[in-house]
Amino acid sequence: MATKAPCTSRERTRLAFAHEEPDRVPLHYFDNPGLNQRMKKHFGLAADDEEGLRQRLEIDFRGIWLPYRGRRLHAELPNRQVDPAWGRRTQWIEHESGGYWDFCDFPLKDAPAEEFDHWPMPSPDDYDYSIVQQVCRSHPDKAIYIGGPGSADILNFCGMLMGVEQMMMEIIDPDSPLQDFVDRRINVQLGELERTLALAEGRVDFLWIGEDLGTQRGPVISMESYRRFLKPRHKRYVDLARSWNIPVMMHSCGSSSWAFDEFLDLGISAIDTLQPEAANMSPAYLKKRWGDKLTFHGCISTAGPVANGTVQDVRRDVRQTLQTMMPGGGYCLAPTHCLQDNSPTENVLALFAAALEFGRYH
């Protein structure tokens, strides 16, 4: 049986988002630093050749990430990385396959209201927008997105600054200074996104936002808290995307399907991460329940065969996932998170080779 005529990455992704069957499933890729360097070494690429790596793997997506060019708003500290724009702090944590920068100190923990009110935040003017047209010109046939899992991620962002326990208490308090603090940040992000959309001149294909709403077993917060605290704020991002006639994809980790109907009500049409090992997140359940309404992006677990199995295990997992998610379109294959440093290079190569082999429509 003949395969379908080849599509560009942009055409392929737009068809998938529209629940039509393109020539093959669109592919996306994220990795941690150790794996990133191993993959480049495998392909004989320079250590900084991100584009070359994505070309070798036939990745369909490219993001616009604005470099921060403003002055440092938060002072540097010894043995820490301090985000100059937002003040988040991280420290280096070693583990058996490498290491990572983990959030620490929580500078707004138990802070008085006035510290929230005066916490330095950047302006949309503090970012370098020259990258926008550069990305658009460099990738005329790719699917281009703005934002990412860190856009609109209210729970994560606030937890990074005050700790998860305090954040969970603050979101249920209508008098908490966190309310205005969150809205200040949203105003900055929306300003950046709107300016980016204007400069891209119709070249952006979707807006990506995030909010981690699940543990491995169930919801992080109640439906009431989502509807009262988060949903009206997420709506501001969706409204912006609608004004530019582009879809919105929501990143949400863990067992997050309890909120999918709320996302649909907002006008969100695609969901990212889709950890298959979490409760109520199996590909079969998701496809049956929402397959005609939502586009899915993810499903390949970074804690599953790609990390712990053989090449054949990886190929089997990819093939089974594709057989479930492909029919009728509406699926983009991607890892559930950054592929971790403990993923063998050969398994990651097998993942994308299997996606290209089994992910074609006829």
Q: How many Å apart are CA 325 and CA 322, to the nearest integer?
A: 5
| 258-283 pLDDT tens trace | 999 999 999 999 999 999 999 999 99
* Residue 116: predicted pLDDT: 97
Q: Are 176 and 215 in contact (CB under 8 A)?
A: no
**Domains of the chain: total:** 1
Tell me what the mean pLDDT of segment 149-153 comes to: 96
What residues form DSSP beta bridges with 102? 91
Residue in 234, 216, 217 with CA at minimum distance from that of residue 225: 234
Q: Are 333 and 299 in contact (CB under 8 A)?
A: yes
Instruction: Write the burial class of residue 311 (CB in 10 Å: 0-12 exposed, 13-18 middle, 19+ buried).
Output: middle
State if pTM tops 0.95.
yes
The token pair that represents 146 in the structure block: 């703005």
Q: How many Å apart are CA 278 and CA 183, to the nearest integer?
A: 31
| 177-198 pLDDT tens trace | 999 999 999 999 999 999 999 9
Q: How many Å apart are CA 208 and CA 199, to the nearest integer?
A: 17
Q: How many Å apart are CA 92 and CA 234, to the nearest integer?
A: 32
Q: How would DSSP label each residue in 262-279?
A: HHHHHT--EEEE--TTST
Cα 39 to Cα 134, 158, 206, 258, 347, distances in angstroms: 26, 34, 28, 36, 11
Does residue 315 lie within any of the structural domains?
Answer: yes
pLDDT band at 96 (very low <50, low <70, confident <90, very high): confident
Does residue 87 lie within any of the structural domains?
Answer: no
Does residue 115 lie within any of the structural domains?
Answer: no
Arithmetic mean of pLDDT over the chain: 97
Does residue 102 lie within any of the structural domains?
Answer: no
Tell me what the mean pLDDT of segment 187-216 comes to: 98
Residue 42: half-sphere exposure toward Cβ, Cα within 13 Å = 15
Q: How many Å apart are CA 186 and CA 161, to the nearest integer?
A: 16
Tell me what the mean pLDDT of segment 339-345 comes to: 96
Q: How many Å apart are CA 106 and CA 258, to the nearest integer?
A: 29
Residue 69 three-state SS? coil
Tell me what the mean pLDDT of segment 216-240 comes to: 97
Residue in 351, 268, 239, 353 with CA at minimum distance from that of residue 302: 351
Q: How many Å apart are CA 297 and CA 230, to the nearest integer?
A: 22
Does residue 95 lie within any of the structural domains?
Answer: no
Q: Which residue range(s) make up the domain with 308?
A: 9-73+124-358
Q: How many Å apart are CA 108 and CA 157, to the nearest integer?
A: 12
- Residue 244 confidence (pLDDT) above 80: yes
CATH of the domain at 29: 3.20.20.210
Does residue 103 lie within any of the structural domains?
Answer: no
Cα 336 to Cα 292, 317, 348, distances in angstroms: 21, 13, 13
- Residue 1 confidence (pLDDT) above 70: no
Does residue 244 lie within any of the structural domains?
Answer: yes
The token pair that represents 59 in the structure block: 């990745």
Q: H/E element holding 286?
A: helix 283-290
Does residue 31 lie within any of the structural domains?
Answer: yes
